[in-house]
Structure 1
Amino acid sequence: MEYNELKNTSAIWIPEIPKHWDLIKVRHLFKESSIKGFPNEPLLVASQKHGVVNKDVYGQRTMEATKDFHNLKLVEKGDFVISLRSFQGGIEYAHQRGIISPAYTILKELKPINKRYFKHLFKSKPFISLMTLCVKGIRDGQNIDFPTFKGEFLPVPPIEEQEAIGAYLDKKTKKIKEFIKKKKRLIELLEEEKRGIVNIAISRGDNPNVKLIDTGIEWLGKVPSHWSVKKIKYITTLIADGTHQTPVYTENGYPFLRITDINGDKINWDEVRYISEKEHKSLTKTRKGRKGDILLSKNGTIGKVIEVTWDEEFSFFVSLCLIRFKKSILPKYFSYFFKSDIVFDQLNEGSKTTSVTNLHLEKIKELRIAYPEITEQEKICKYLDIECGKVDVAISKAKLEIEKANEYQESLITQVVTGQLKVPTLKQENVLS
């Protein structure tokens, strides 16, 4: 439902608001608070996703601003906090009392407001566009210049309408978040299903009645009796590191591939950087890739595998390695092998941790792979292409639904907090429900 009458404003980021709304400068709505000297209060962090929360329960590594807790600013529950990332994600709402970095700006209201309305307004897309105009400095993590920001205008509905908007958006966004949570769980289950399909095919083939023999290897167990089990180093002709040097990028030249250029089983060529011919030649004297080679990510995010399907020469960073197999192994078969639990069971063998973030060449060479003859590898790959393809379709559908839900939420918040869409009053909401 739309408002009956709108009026133009002098604010660039919000050209129209309902006629009965006010447009008020930040300085008349909020004041800066800089209370210090409370070292025993809980240490808080500002998160774009979670708001201002306790550092101990945040669940991610964060940087402590200082060890002198006397200099940290006091935050009360319900305060708003301008963080070093507010120009990217808006102003954060404080969910509890505590102390926070002196680099942040604490805002307290000067007049009665409904904080739920402003919590949504401060995370809306148009408001974030306003914040980008209020930054100072050029370093990563730019500060919002508060003297500039407090001269900007904010849309302010009547307090009853603020309450209605806050309650309406809380209810709607809760439902959207629950929907997204379910879809993310579905994706996790689908990924598990796909991994299970790959695990069985890579260790058993596609014949459920095949004769199995015990390999004597705990993490591998039984494999078809006619399969071979060998270390990677015995079935390859080349396993090479990428360069440790960060080259000078050019507009054109030879592709310089990094982990971030791999998207699924493809290279995202739109994001690829290039280097000069001279630098390329100096980097690839012993590492020239060719069709059929495999690029494997081995640092940071390990396990990304891509087959070289193009003719153009390229260089690659140390986070990737190049593997060239003998004719006994299909590159695609190896790609599926590396998506199986067989690989990660080997990598984690004897380790107290459950994840590996760096994979050295010597470790890669020692990995064991179970495999049949080429014709059966082709058959297994075709089977996996079909079965994994079905699961991938379902995953893509779920991801698209999440994307559309996020877009809907962003659009809904924008329309409601800027007065483009009218919501029922709390009395109307109670009658309708």
Structure 2
Amino acid sequence: MSFPPYPSYQDSGVEWLGAVPRHWRVERLGNLYREVSEAGSPELPVLSVSIHSGVSDEEAAPEDNERKIVRSEDRSKYKRVSPNDLTYNMMRAWQGGFGTVQVEGMVSPAYVVARPRTEVPSKYIELLLRTPGAVEEMRRHSRGVTDFRLRLYWDQFKDIRVALPPQEERNAILAFVDRETSKIDALVDEQRRLIGLLQKKRQAAISHAVTKGLDPTAPMKDSGVEWLGEVPAHWVVTALKRYSMKVTDGAHISPETEGGIHCFVSTRDVSDQGIDFEGCLRTTPQSFDYLVKTGCNPEFGDVLFSKDGTVGRTTVVRDAPDFVVASSLIIIRPSPEILNAEFLDLLCKSDAVQQQVASYVKGAGLPRLSIQNLLRVIGVFPPIDEQSQIVAATAPQLDAIRQLHAAADAATALLNERRSAFIRAAVTGKIDVRYVDVQQAEAA
């Protein structure tokens, strides 16, 4: 179902807003909100702001650059927040680090707390501020010499102008957005369930191939390792380190990134699809040369294993530019005469290895695996020619699963784009949903 535009529009006089419905009013955020800085109290929960999900009392995502928030003894500088307050992280506002408060609580001193002066529902303002034009406007009002140092102070935030419909119309828009996004969210959940099933199927295929082999009639033996169970009798059960030429991690220093040109890869850049060389950080030639000298540069055929944060991601270094890695990645260089790199990658992804790794992980806030503990991991190793056969035999099945996974990811992305488009069109007045009743919305 398509939705009509409003009957008439006017120039808002604000570049990022453009034309808005004629009866909407343009206001400075400072006319709608006032900054408050009330001291918190010991009984209140500490809330955090995520760039993805807004305000919650849960640990912020690692990419939000937030440490796990605990009930600190010293809360003297924390700020009290109340339902319908709008709060934002000064350093992350332009990336979406803001949200509407739902419960009484308190937030970090690094957050700004804005309290409505009028009846404006902050949820509406939050939806409006998450539109691309508003995000860019917040970035433009932020102060700092680089993106990393940008901060949106109250004095700049309050000067941002927004367009508001009358209260009854705002309520209608919020109801419309809630109905439409609920339907889209249900479809997204279906795709996520499919992705979960595909991941389980992929994991089972990998785990069986690298611990049981391709020949169902092969004689078996007890591996003596709980995680492995029975394995083919002619396979070798031993520590991973005995089949590796080199096991080391990446840089333990912060590389220079100002004017960087060489790829500096960390855990977040590694996935089953390979290494994200487009999105990774860049380091300077001087820093790069130093890191190469200290052994932080992987070579073709090495396997990267993530040890910090999301522990256990692996990939093989194939055709790639020269790059160096962060300390969050372990470089495993297999002994080529006895260990196939692609087989090692599958073995590291298997339940047998992943369960061992999980038993060695330390740290609640930031999970970590030490190199010493990875060296203790026991693997099972067939002869080198059989390793190659297993890699070749599993490739078609894994490729098929990967394609289905990619299709589900693409469908999810399209649904999320549609969700964002609905919200953006409604809260900026590009579509008129005042007279859309529940029956019409459900038929859309």
- Do Structure 1 and Structure 2 share a fold, with TM-score over 0.5? yes
Matched, 1:191 2:199: yes
Query: Which residue is 1:309 aligned to?
Result: 318
Task: For 2:61 and 2:276, locate their aligned partners in 1 and report how far apart those are by CA, in whole Å.
Answer: 33
Task: For 1:253 and 1:130, locate their aligned partners in 2 and report how far apart those are by CA, in whole Å.
Answer: 29
Matched, 1:358 2:372: no
Change (3 A) 1:104 1:206: same
Matched, 1:46 2:52: no
Could you tell me whether the CA contact under 8 Å between 2:116 and 2:122 is conserved in 1? no
Change (3 A) 1:422 1:344: same
Could you tell me whether the CA contact under 8 Å between 1:259 and 1:320 is conserved in 2? no
Query: Which residue is 2:378 aligned to?
Result: 368
Amino-acid identity (%) = 24
1:221 to 213, 222, 229: 229
Task: For 1:386 and 1:196, locate their aligned partners in 2 and report how far apart those are by CA, in whole Å.
Answer: 15
Task: For 2:424 and 2:13, locate their aligned partners in 1 and report how far apart those are by CA, in whole Å.
Answer: 18
2:429 to 419, 425, 430: 419
2:85 to 69, 73, 79: 79
Task: For 2:171 and 2:320, locate their aligned partners in 1 and report how far apart those are by CA, in whole Å.
Answer: 62
Matched, 1:98 2:105: yes
Task: For 1:245 and 1:56, locate their aligned partners in 2 and report how far apart those are by CA, in whole Å.
Answer: 26
User: Cα offset for 1:229?
Assistant: 2.5
Could you tell me whether the CA contact under 8 Å between 1:236 and 1:324 is conserved in 2? yes
Task: For 2:53 and 2:321, locate their aligned partners in 1 and report how far apart those are by CA, in whole Å.
Answer: 45
After superposition, what is the alpha-carbon deviation per residue over 1:44-90, rounded to whole angstroms, capped at 9, x for unaligned?
Answer: 33344443344699999545798554654442222222332322216
Larger mean Cα displacement after TM superposition, 171-180 or 268-277 = 268-277
Change (3 A) 1:253 1:401: closer
After superposition, what is the alpha-carbon deviation per residue over 1:138-170, rounded to whole angstroms, capped at 9, x for unaligned?
Answer: 585754333333333221112221111010011
Task: For 2:374 and 2:61, locate their aligned partners in 1 and report how far apart those are by CA, in whole Å.
Answer: 35
Amino acid at match of 1:51: G
TM-score by length of 2: 0.82
After superposition, what is the alpha-carbon deviation per residue over 1:244-303, rounded to whole angstroms, capped at 9, x for unaligned?
Answer: 455556978876554454343533333464654896388448788654343444444443
SS in 1 for 2:349: coil
Task: For 1:125 and 1:252, locate their aligned partners in 2 and report how far apart those are by CA, in whole Å.
Answer: 28
Matched, 1:209 2:217: yes
Query: Which residue is 1:122 aligned to?
Result: 129
Change (3 A) 1:36 1:281: closer
2:12 to 9, 12, 24: 9
Amino acid at match of 2:55: V
Query: Which residue is 1:408 aligned to?
Result: 418
Task: For 2:178 and 2:102, locate their aligned partners in 1 and report how far apart those are by CA, in whole Å.
Answer: 15
Task: For 1:51 and 1:417, locate their aligned partners in 2 and report how far apart those are by CA, in whole Å.
Answer: 18
Matched, 1:339 2:349: yes
Change (3 A) 1:429 1:381: same
Amino acid at match of 2:242: Y
Query: Which residue is 1:390 aligned to?
Result: 400
Segments of 5+ residues of structure 2 without an aligned counterpart are: none
Larger mean Cα displacement after TM superposition, 248-257 or 142-151 = 248-257
Q: How big is the alpha-carbon RMSD for the aligned residues of Structure 1 and Structure 2?
A: 3.8
Amino acid at match of 2:104: R
Query: Which residue is 1:108 aligned to?
Result: 115
Matched, 1:292 2:309: no
Could you tell me whether the CA contact under 8 Å between 2:55 and 2:100 is conserved in 1? yes
User: Cα offset for 1:113?
Assistant: 3.5
Change (3 A) 1:337 1:159: same
SS in 2 for 1:95: coil
Task: For 1:65 and 1:346, locate their aligned partners in 2 and report how far apart those are by CA, in whole Å.
Answer: 32
Larger mean Cα displacement after TM superposition, 41-50 or 378-387 = 41-50
Query: Which residue is 1:161 aligned to?
Result: 169
Task: For 1:69 and 1:233, locate their aligned partners in 2 and report how far apart those are by CA, in whole Å.
Answer: 47
Q: Which has the larger radius of gyration?
A: 1
TM-score by length of 1: 0.83
Larger mean Cα displacement after TM superposition, 365-374 or 343-352 = 343-352
Could you tell me whether the CA contact under 8 Å between 2:298 and 2:317 is conserved in 1? yes
2:139 to 123, 132, 143: 132
Task: For 2:174 and 2:296, locate their aligned partners in 1 and report how far apart those are by CA, in whole Å.
Answer: 59
After superposition, what is the alpha-carbon deviation per residue over 1:363-389, rounded to whole angstroms, capped at 9, x for unaligned?
Answer: 444433323333322221122111111
Matched, 1:234 2:245: no
Could you tell me whether the CA contact under 8 Å between 1:51 and 1:95 is conserved in 2? no
SS in 2 for 1:420: coil
After superposition, what is the alpha-carbon deviation per residue over 1:14-59, rounded to whole angstroms, capped at 9, x for unaligned?
Answer: 0100112222233333333344475544443334444334469999
Query: Which residue is 1:378 aligned to?
Result: 388
Could you tell me whether the CA contact under 8 Å between 2:361 and 2:369 is conserved in 1? no
Larger mean Cα displacement after TM superposition, 151-160 or 332-341 = 151-160
Could you tell me whether the CA contact under 8 Å between 1:66 and 1:101 is conserved in 2? no
Larger mean Cα displacement after TM superposition, 401-410 or 118-127 = 118-127
Task: For 1:432 and 1:281, locate their aligned partners in 2 and report how far apart those are by CA, in whole Å.
Answer: 61
Amino acid at match of 1:158: P
Could you tell me whether the CA contact under 8 Å between 2:251 and 2:296 is conserved in 1? no
Task: For 1:134 and 1:231, locate their aligned partners in 2 and report how far apart those are by CA, in whole Å.
Answer: 56
Task: For 1:252 and 1:148, locate their aligned partners in 2 and report how far apart those are by CA, in whole Å.
Answer: 31
Query: Which residue is 1:149 aligned to?
Result: 157
Larger mean Cα displacement after TM superposition, 76-85 or 411-420 = 76-85
Amino acid at match of 1:199: S
